[in-house]
Chains A and B, each alone.
Chain A
Amino acid sequence: MMDLGFALNSKRVLVVARRVVRQLKRDRRTIGLITFAPIFLMILFGYALSGEMSGINLGIVDFGGQDDLTDHLASVDDFDLLRLGSESDAEKLIVEGRLHGAVVIRDNEVRILLDGSSPQITSSIMTEVKTGLLPKNGLRNGEMIGGEGESGGAVNVASLGHDGGIGGVGGHGILGSDVGIGRNDALGEYSAVEAQSPEIVQRYVYGYDLEMMDSVGPAVLGLVVFFFTFITAAISFLRERTQGSLEKFMVSPLSRPEMVAGYLLGFSLFALLQSATTFLVVVFVFGVPMNGNPITAFAVILLLGAGALVLGAFFSNFAKTEFQVVQFIPMVILPQVVLSGVWWPLESIPAFIRPISYILPLTYSSDALRAVMLKGAGISDILVPDLLFLAGFFVIVFGAATLMLKREVG
């Protein structure tokens, strides 16, 4: 009964595809999920990733002498300032979690207290303090501050580090009393410098100042299609098995590859619909550039979706109920979300985990989609390794899924 080598009967494949489309078409909820959920998700991601922060609670203990700085901090919209009388008050409020940080301003010194639990907030406070300390005609924001000048007030940073023992014993809070509050060397010392340092010029090779969304958008496009195709396919195949139809058409001329191929054909229609809506949001709402051929991008997405479908078919064999299918999300989807360079570059993933990244299809689709959309790459540019990997992944999992379907019945 080894029929993997059989030629596919295209009529039967079409019969299955038509049935799949009819089923999905009738399932309004799923259609809605397929088309609108990505839009909703993209909009959420888009705003969450726009990089703007607000509502940072910053304490100020002002002993005078740095008017430029105080004025500047007051002018930053992101900061909600709270004026305090002493450094120990500020410390107390930080420990209580009511402030993200505090700036103690003296004539000859600026001390920054941070709760240190969010690198983004830390860097936002640091940037603004540095900006506020610069002479008015100084460096523009975004350029580097370098050198080890002696002049200006010393900026001392104290991090109320979060290594202070979450779960620390003995009744003291998250920040133990022995944590280096006020340890001036916690993050090293920053010194503001005068404007004589060499000017630094940045030039973007693709002539475009990428925002976070521009880099994430193309990759998320793949993620959305992968996620929904995987889940829908896994549940569909599970139903075939539990409702007995799989067993019934095992005893028919339909071969397993034909069945999977029929699903592929039927689902590809919806994957296209889905990627089209997501794509439109990414490009027209968030202004992510589309420098390459959209057809190339769709080809990548379809190839990825095909991989997700057969992976769903494969995993459906390990689930007995739809509830168990949902349990695959943390096992199959989450690692890809974290490890495949959708949100941050692969280079920032520790080297010993990176081999895993290299076997995840999303790694390659993200790379390919970025290349096509941002750099205008063509098929030949992304053939190796991206398309090759995605195709190989599909073929191998297709084979495995087909074999598993059989095993399950026996």
Chain B
Amino acid sequence: MNDGENSDPVSFEEYSIVAQGLQKSFGKLKVLSDLSVKIPRGTTYCLLGPNGSGKTTFIRAVAGLLRLDGGDLSVLGEPVSNVCRVYPRIGYMTQHKALYPDLTLQENMEFYAGLYGIEGARMSERISELLEMVDLADHSQRITGALSGGMYQRLSLACTLIHEPDLLLLDEPTVGVDPILREAFWRFFDDLAEKGSTILITTHLMDEAERCKIVGYMRAGRMLAEGSPEELKRLAGLQPILKLSVKEPEASATRLAAGGFDASVVEGELHVAIEEHRKLKEVLDLVEPLDLRLVEPTLGDAFLRLAEEVQR
């Protein structure tokens, strides 16, 4: 049923997750308020947002672990009330590690493989493949409880991938994982997405978000902004900044402002916003820089700006 090879991409729906007006409160605390999200198949979708903004809650709703107060939600074409029918195609990595500390790595993998009916030679093959991927092959006979934090996280990811799921729900999968492996993970995720898997991932790391096709920025249970990283930066009104060292910054700033540029002096440095790259030359005609660098806005800047706007 979930053999990766013969899954026909056309037969799947266009969207893996469609959420419309989700509502959820815990007591008086409104955790999801009118949240609508559509996640196309074969996409890496990143949920960003401050602690407590409802990211985990949304993922749990998708996994069918929450009783929603309102809204429509369908997962892999099934209404969420029937989501258990598509459980064999979902891989869910919780924010907890969900491993048995008293089993060996191999035994943990075997357990999760068994739940999905993977056994025999296929199981051994799959397990060694995944342990290789998360760079734990040498540790397969160790007791899981004795692993380091990052290793734990890697094993948890390997267990989640055991059945080649079509939809991956990954709640902060790279916490505590070192940069080299993180890079490897992301290449792996890109690979999976290319093959048609949908990946819903949460993270607090902007460089990871930047790698996703779509980024959704949540705050207080709402979707504040959504789009590709580039779209979001534009949405936040962020422009590349040209940072210049000049002899007389104040005078230069006045001159640039007169020429219609957004220029300011920050700690003795002249900052000029560049709407379009071809405007660079005009700026350089007006000043004589000793040194200069062009700083592209980051997604982090975009969210800081968006958050400020919401506050106002």
Residues of chain A having any CB pair with chain B under 8 Å:
1, 3, 11-12, 14-16, 18-19, 22-23, 26-27, 243-245, 247-254, 409-410
Cross-interface CB contact of B96 among A22, A27, A243, cutoff 8 Å: A243
- Assess the B114–A15 pair: CB atoms within 8 A: yes
Residues of B within 8 A of A23 (CB): 100, 102-103
- Chain B residues within an 8 Å CB radius of A409: 65
Report Cα–Cα, A16/B103, bound state, in Å: 13
Having A247-B65, A248-B92, one finds 19 other A-B pairs with CB under 8 Å, namely A3-B84, A11-B117, A12-B117, A15-B111, A15-B115, A19-B111, A22-B107, A247-B60, A247-B96, A248-B93, A248-B98, A249-B112, A250-B64, A250-B65, A251-B63, A251-B90, A252-B112, A409-B65, A410-B67
Confirm or deny: B245 has a beta carbon within 8 angstroms of a beta carbon on chain A.
Answer: no
Is the CB–CB distance between B87 and A251 below 8 Å?
A: yes
Which residues of B does A touch, CB under 8 Å? 60, 63-67, 81-84, 87-88, 90, 92-103, 107, 111-112, 114-117, 119, 143, 169
A3 and B81 alpha carbons, distance in the complex (Å): 12
Bound-state Cα–Cα, A134 to B98, Å: 75
In the assembled complex, the CB of A255 is this many whole angstroms from the nearest CB of chain B, namely 8
> Given the complex, which residues of A lie within 8 Å of B92, measured CB to CB?
247-248, 251-252
Q: How far is the CA of A252 from the CA of B115 in the complex (A)?
A: 7
Closest B residue to A254 by beta carbon equals B115
Please tell me if the beta carbons of A245 and B100 are within 8 angstroms of each other in the complex: yes
For the complex of A and B, list the 3 residue pairs with the smallest distance between their C-beta atoms, beginning with the closest: A244-B96, A15-B114, A248-B98
Q: Which residue of B lies closest to A247 (CB)?
A: B94
In the complex formed, the residue of A with least CB distance to B159 is: A248
Enumerate chain B residues within 8 angstroms of A254, measured Cβ to Cβ. Answer: 115
Given known contacts A11-B114, A251-B92, A1 and B100 CB-to-CB distance under 8 angstroms: no
Is chain A's interface secondary structure helix, strand, loop, or mixed overall? helix
Q: List 9 A-B contacts (CB under 8 A).
A: A12-B117, A14-B114, A19-B100, A23-B102, A26-B143, A244-B95, A248-B93, A249-B112, A253-B115
Pick the contact of A252 from B87, B101, B143 — CB < 8 Å? B87
Complex Cα–Cα for A19 and B60 (A): 26
A253 contacts B116, C-beta separation under 8 Å? yes
Known A1-B81, A11-B117, A253-B116: A410·B66 in contact at CB below 8 Å: yes
Candidates A18, A244, A253; contact of B87 at CB < 8 Å: A253
Contact B84 A1 (CB under 8 A): yes
In the bound complex, how far is the Cα of B83 from the Cα of A150, in angstroms?
Answer: 89
Smallest Cβ distance from B158 to chain A, in angstroms? 13
Task: Return A378 CB to nearest CB of chain B, in Å.
Answer: 39
CA A254 to CA B113, docked complex, whole Å: 11
Tell me the minimal C-beta distance from A155 to chain B in angstroms: 66
Closest to A259 in B: B115
**Nearest CB to that of A26 among chain B residues?**
B102
Q: A258 to B88, alpha carbons, bound, how many Å? A: 15
Cβ–Cβ contact B67 & A253, under 8 A: no
Contact B116 A245 (CB under 8 A): no
- CB atoms of A27 and B102 under 8 A apart: yes
Contact B65 A251 (CB under 8 A): yes
| A251–B96 alpha-carbon span in the complex (Å) | 14
Task: Report the separation of the CA atoms of residues A410 and B103 in the bound assembly, to the nearest whole angstrom.
Answer: 28
Chain B residues in 8 Å Cβ range of A27:
102
Given A410-B65, A410-B66: A252 in contact with B98 (beta carbons within 8 A): no
Nearest-neighbour CB distance to chain A for B168, whole angstroms, equals: 11
Q: How far is the CA of A253 from the CA of B112 in the complex (A)?
A: 10
Whether the pair A243, B65 counts as a contact (CB closer than 8 A) is: no
Q: CA A1 – CA B98 in complex, angstroms?
A: 22
Tell me the smallest distance from the CB of A230 to a CB of chain B, in Å.
20
Query: When chains A and B are docked, how far (Å) is the Cα of A243 from the Cα of B84?
Result: 22
Checking A3, A22, A244, A250 against B97 with a beta-carbon cut-off of 8 angstroms, the contacting residue is A244
Residue of A nearest to B93 (CB): A248
* B114, A12: Cβ atoms closer than 8 Å: yes
Which of B66, B98, B111, B116 is close to A244, meaning CB atoms less than 8 Å apart? Answer: B98
Residues of A close to B66: CB separation below 8 A: 410
- Bound-complex Cα distance A23 to B104 (A): 10
Q: Are A252 and B100 in contact (CB under 8 A)?
A: no
A residues in contact with B63, CB < 8 Å? 250-251
Interchain CB contact under 8 A, B64 and A247: no
Interface centre among A3, A27, A244, A410 (most CB of B within 10 A): A244
Query: In angstroms, how far is the closest chain B Cβ from the Cβ of A273?
Result: 19
Please determine whether A22 and B87 come into contact, CB atoms closer than 8 angstroms.
Answer: no
Report the separation of the CA atoms of residues A373 and B114 in the bound assembly, to the nearest whole angstrom.
42
- A residues less than 8 Å from B100 (CB atoms): 19, 23, 243, 245
**Which residues from B are CB-within-8-Å of A248?**
92-94, 98
Which residue from chain A places its CB closest to the CB of B92 in the assembled complex?
A: A251
Q: Is the CB of A253 within 8 A of B98?
A: no
Contact assessment for A22 and B103 in the assembled complex, using a CB-CB cutoff below 8 Å:
yes
Query: B99 and A245: CB pair below 8 A?
Result: yes
A14 to B114, CA, bound (A): 9
Q: Which residues of B contact A22 (CB under 8 A)?
A: 103, 107
Closest chain B CB from A22 CB (angstroms): 6
Q: For the complex, give the distance between the alpha carbons of A1 and B67 in Å.
A: 11
Please, which residues of chain A bring their CB within 8 A of the CB of B64?
A: 1, 250-251
Q: Closest Cβ of chain B: how far from A354's Cβ, in Å?
A: 42
Residues of B within 8 A of A3 (CB): 84
User: Contact: A247 with B114, CB < 8 Å?
Assistant: no
B83 proximity list for chain A (CB < 8 A): 1
